Amino acid sequence: MCKSDFSFTNRRSFLKQASAAAIASSLPIHSGLAFAGAASDSAQAVVVNRPPLAPNAFYLLPLGSIRPIGWLRNQLEIQANGLGGHLDETWADVGPNSGWLGGTGESWERGPYFVDGLVPLAYQLDDARLKAKAQKFMDWTLENQSSNGMIGPRSNDDWWPRMVMLKALAQYQEATGDPRVIPVLSRYFAYQLTALPGRPLRDWGKFRWQDNALIAIWLYNRTGDPKLIELVRLLHSQGHDWQAQYANFKFTELVTPESIKLNDGGGLLDPALSTHGVNNGQALKAAPVWSLVTNNDSDRRGLGQMLAALDKYHGLPNGMFSCDEHFAGRNPSQGSELCTVVEMMFSLEQSLAILGDAALSDRLERLAFNALPGTFTDDMWAHQYNQEPNQVEVSLHRKPWTTDGPESNLFGLEPNFGCCTANFHQGWPKFAASLWMASADNGLVAAAYAPCEVRTRVQDTVVQLKEETDYPFRDAVRVTVNPSSTMEFPLRLRIPGWGEGATISVNGQAEASPVAGTFVKIDRKWKPGDVVELKLPMRPRVSRGFNDSVSIDRGPLVFSLPIGEDWVKLRDRGMTADWQVFPSSQWNYAVAVNEQAIGEAIVKEAALGKAPFALKNSPVTMEIEARKLPSWRAVDGVADPVPQSPVSSGEPKERITLVPYAAAKLRITSFPELKATV
């Protein structure tokens, strides 16, 4: 950069800062957050929906307000010390030649995907090394906006990858208050509004319009520019009509390549994009986001309708729907793509804030504590593209995938396709950022449980919270409330749908019995050092799946039979490697468990280690009775569909030990039930 450019940049920065300050002064501030280390007050304010948008039930706290502690901090550090904090050093697609750093390399979705997770990881860990990595991408995008307002590499004009970068920029602005962000986003959206009529949304962008709309709304709440609402309406009108798809849901079976015209040429057609797992995971937020514009109850109900259909026709016991990589029915030997896991989590986090529905928290935890860690190696240096609830072998095989390749369930750098390699980063950090939210009535909400500290401002008073817990492995949650001075505000605690018999006490005094599946409101004068204790009874319970199969849960954890694992390295991949895993023990059991007999399961707890989801020293295990079922076999590395329950077996009775789903990289999660008389 020459000297004159430098001074021009400085002048431009100054002008941008001045305009950002003007915007900040007009913010509709819910509670002006002032977290230590924040670059400016405006960056830390909880911003509420500006009329005419409908209000949210809850509002996410700005990135940086929540810091993980305990096992969650360990988990985020595992990610930072694994591929999450080193991907750019070993994978050229997000390396120094990325198009999103001004290079000639990958210029589509991978750079934005990477930073969409790297930014929240870096700021929640307050990690200078990671912040510096993210900063390069932020700076390049912010300093290289075209004169017409377009952002990103000049080599393509696809709306889709920019939608991802918008999410990263919004988080970065919240964490840092960088005054360049809001003006850049304002110019980009102004450009998009004029350009979309002539260059409308297509393929991925058409099916993912709601992610673009989400950030246009984020900006509207900060600037009040009515053109942004016009843009959201235009995106909705050009985007796929997800609510119509689910009002008359036709995709009730496993999708075949022929049924979605996969090989008809010319890229993916609408039937393929409508049934694509990642698109559907992202689309879970479409109706809630749109409901902010319409303030319409039928739009608010859209997510429930969508989840009900996905569960009925494609639901799996790990909380996912099958998508390998299109809908694949309820057979637990089918898989789900990692991108869909993290996108579904993000959709649930955003939708939970909009709707305030406790069932969405339950679902979010089911994904975060099972499907997410279950598809990584313990050190997070390798991941799968597709994971299966009944996963008896991880190897190069054609089955059971209908549209994906033979590498789909390998653990590695980029098995099958590299999207998940770039996109997985958002899973844990955004979950951590969603644990506590602000409520519309100026209080705080425990939206999901995991150990963390919160520093925020409620009604102009600084409030700190410390949540100490080994949940989901234990049933106790202890929250210390520390307002800087005594003050009254509502504090809401979620009682999960499975949490019947939960108890709450404040400073040792029992509160009224809370109702499962609700947010319980404790409205009182809080003084420094008040302690709220929550007990969530974690009795083992049964859920039913494909062919009336049995899956076993305890609290938010799903339990699986771990199969002996023989790890075989397929090849080195830079700083990591690709792995196959072959079974070294038998897995074909039917269980003597049903809704009544589950009470006989024996739960054992052990100390929580550094890697809470590792198989070794698992912090909780469960013993149940079972018999081998020799007729249930695997073909080409894939378990046959779990047989219709109940089944008979003449094999001897055995006690088998189950572990958390995520601990078992080879596993059975859906079991046939033994006939009670056998």
**Contact set with Zn ion (CB under 5 A):** 337, 339, 419-420
Quote the CA–CA distance of 174 and 566 in Å, as a whole number: 45
Q: Which residue lies nearer to Zn ion by CB, 91 or 526?
A: 91
Q: Which residue lies nearer to Zn ion by CB, 46 or 419?
A: 419
Q: Which residue lies nearer to Zn ion by CB, 394 or 447?
A: 394
> Residue 259 is which amino acid?
S
Quote the CA–CA distance of 172 and 152 in Å, as a whole number: 16
Least Å distance between CB 340 and Zn ion? 7
Least Å distance between CB 386 and Zn ion? 9
- At 565, which helix (H) or strand (E)? strand 565-573
Q: Which residue lies nearer to Zn ion by CB, 427 or 545?
A: 427
Q: Are 188 and 145 in contact (CB under 8 A)?
A: yes
Least Å distance between CB 380 and Zn ion? 16
Quote the CA–CA distance of 494 and 514 in Å, as a whole number: 9
Q: Which residue lies nearer to Zn ion by CB, 416 or 551?
A: 416
371-374 long-range contacts, CB within 8 A, separation 24+: 371/318, 371/319, 371/320, 371/336, 371/341, 371/661, 372/341, 372/342, 372/345, 372/427, 372/428, 372/431, 372/662, 373/75, 373/613, 373/662, 374/318, 374/613, 374/661, 374/662, 374/664, 374/665, 374/667
At 16, give phi and psi (nearest 5°). -65, -40
Q: Which residue lies nearer to Zn ion by CB, 284 or 420?
A: 420
Least Å distance between CB 420 and Zn ion? 3
Least Å distance between CB 388 and Zn ion? 16
Quote the CA–CA distance of 180 and 107 in Å, as a whole number: 22
DSSP secondary-structure letter at 371? Answer: I
* Residue pointed to by tokens 């009040």: 224
Q: Which residue lies nearer to Zn ion by CB, 221 or 423?
A: 423
Distances (CA, A) of 601 to 128, 527, 656: 47, 42, 10
The angle, 0 to 180 degrees and rounded to 10, between the axes of the packed helices 83-90 and 128-143 is 50
Least Å distance between CB 156 and Zn ion? 19
Quote the CA–CA distance of 210 and 290 in Å, as a whole number: 8
* Residue pointed to by tokens 């000049």: 154
Quote the CA–CA distance of 432 and 445 in Å, as a whole number: 14
Least Å distance between CB 453 and Zn ion? 32
Least Å distance between CB 155 and Zn ion? 22
Least Å distance between CB 38 and Zn ion? 34
2-11 long-range contacts, CB within 8 A, separation 24+: 9/143
Closest among 63, 64, 27 to 48, alpha carbons compared: 27
Least Å distance between CB 301 and Zn ion? 29
Least Å distance between CB 403 and Zn ion? 13
Q: Which residue lies nearer to Zn ion by CB, 83 or 420?
A: 420
Nearest residue to Zn ion on Cβ basis: 339
Q: Which residue lies nearer to Zn ion by CB, 176 or 384?
A: 384
Q: Which residue lies nearer to Zn ion by CB, 84 or 540?
A: 84
Q: Compute the half-sphere exposure of residue 649: CA atoms within 13 Å on the CB side of its CA.
A: 24
Q: Which residue lies nearer to Zn ion by CB, 56 or 387?
A: 387
Structure-token pair, residue 384: 């799968």
